[in-house]
Amino acid sequence: MQISEQAVLDALRQVPFPGFKRDVVSLGVVRRVQIEGATVRVELDLPADNADAAEVIERQSREALRAVPGVTAVEMRRAGGSGSAALKLVGPAPQETAAAGGGLDPRLIPKVRRVIAVASGKGGVGKSTVAVNLAVSLGRAGVRTGLLDADIYGPSIPLMTGLQSERPQIDRATQRIVPFERYGIRLMSLGFFVEPDSAVIWRGPMVMKAIDQLLRDVEWGELDVLVVDMPPGTGDAQLTLSQRVRLAGAVIVTTPQDVALADAIKGVAMFRKVGVEVLGIVENMSFFSCPHCGERTDIFGHGGGRAQAERLGVPFLGEVPLEAAIRSSGDAGRPVATSDDDSPVVRAFHDLALGLLPALGLRPADTASGQQPGDGLLERFRRVWRRGDGPATD
């Protein structure tokens, strides 16, 4: 029985690339097909940065080809290799768009030392609020900080930083986009390029291309940390970022409700599957403290974030209370972390930033301030948010 190349390709189209909806043929993993009698030889470009995915692709491809009528032998080789014994994990992981390239690309943000993703399993938990206030707090600690709004479908950073009516400029010398600088940080968002009332209706490949361009085409310059505000969930944007840049870790934002905690668990699992360290969990809207009597009310429950962090074996990074100041400051385009007020919510964001510095391997001597350990940068940083000039206390 004669075996056709079309039959072979149709069989391989039933093999999905792990983590994607598309198959290994459409993603370019299958480089060449040769048929000699009842033997099929397939050349594959397997992902070097994901050994588990490569193993799954090879196994499932063999199974699919053996099911083709007339096939009695299957030989698989890597692109450029010779024989199955030469099969090695080489070449980048494919993406769903050619513009997104594939695999880690050190050319994207060469002067950025650390990249952290702020993510959530579901929307409505205050992920963007945590991201922007974390970035501002890091900036106030003397850390050269950037903020990338990768929430393609719902970019909110322009509004929260008071720049919603601005449009980016192009550096004529480099032909790259100049990020905005505000509140001591550099920031960029797709929201600067679309009309405020328009909806972004894109499929996965367009989302991945947009994130790639926000990394590649923006003149981020030298940064200690780039904070990335991710879309909610565990989809294309998260996979693109984790495959394109080397993430220092991810911060998962949740609220105390069981439904939010369940989705936070999925977020932790997703980052672990792609080999990204989870720096910890933040419980947002943790409690409400009455501004008049000081009575505390756990509106959405309490303690769920800490309990899940302990169960998952990841750090618990802190509780952010529910305060009207967060909403009003965000609407006014001035993040609450810019305040010198000694409120619980301001202290929560500053403590979050301070707590992440050791996890990121950063010390005062590593930051833009140039101060050496012992110069008291962190102590002065803490005292900014305490009234008076008296000594700071923990």
**223: β partners:** 112
Instruction: Write down the architecture of domain 5-94 according to CATH.
Output: 2-Layer Sandwich (3.30)
Helix (H, G, I), strand (E, B) or coil at 156: coil
**CB 214 within 8 Å of CB 150:** yes
Q: How far is C-alpha 222 from the geometric centre of its chain's CA atoms?
A: 19
Q: Return residue ranges of the chain for CATH 3.30.300.130.
A: 5-94
Q: In this structure, what token pair is assigned to residue 57? A: 């692709």
Best CA proximity match to 112, nearest among 148, 149, 160: 148
Task: Give the HSE-up count for residue 169: Cα atoms under 13 Å, Cβ half-sphere.
Answer: 6
CB atoms within 10 A of CB 154: 15
Q: In this structure, what token pair is assigned to residue 60? A: 């499932």
Q: b/e string for 355-380 if b means 16 or more Cβ within 10 A?
A: bbbebbebebebbebebeeeeebbee
Q: pLDDT of the chain along its 394 residues, tens only?
A: 788 999 999 999 999 877 666 778 877 788 888 998 889 999 888 766 567 778 889 889 999 999 999 989 999 887 644 333 222 222 333 343 333 334 567 678 889 999 999 988 777 788 999 999 999 999 988 899 999 998 888 888 999 999 988 888 888 888 888 999 999 999 999 888 776 666 666 666 777 778 888 888 899 999 999 999 988 876 777 777 877 888 899 999 988 876 667 777 888 888 888 888 899 999 888 777 777 776 777 777 777 788 888 888 889 898 888 887 888 888 888 999 988 777 888 888 988 998 898 888 876 444 444 443 333 334 544 443 333 333 333 3
DSSP 8-state assignment for residue 268: H
Which one-letter amino acid corresponds to residue 263?
D
**CB 211 within 8 Å of CB 237:** yes
Distance CA 194, CA 149 (A): 13
CB atoms within 10 A of CB 309: 22
Q: At CA 108, angle to CA 102 and CA 112, rounded to 5?
A: 135
Best CA proximity match to 353, nearest among 90, 127, 132, 124: 132
With tokens 């993510």, the residue in question is 119
Distance CA 10, CA 68 (A): 9
Q: Return residue ranges of the chain for CATH 3.40.50.300.
A: 112-383
**Overall pTM surpassing 0.85 (yes/no):** no
Give 112-383's CATH code, choosing from 3.40.50.300, 1.10.3720.10, 3.30.565.10, 3.40.50.12160.
3.40.50.300
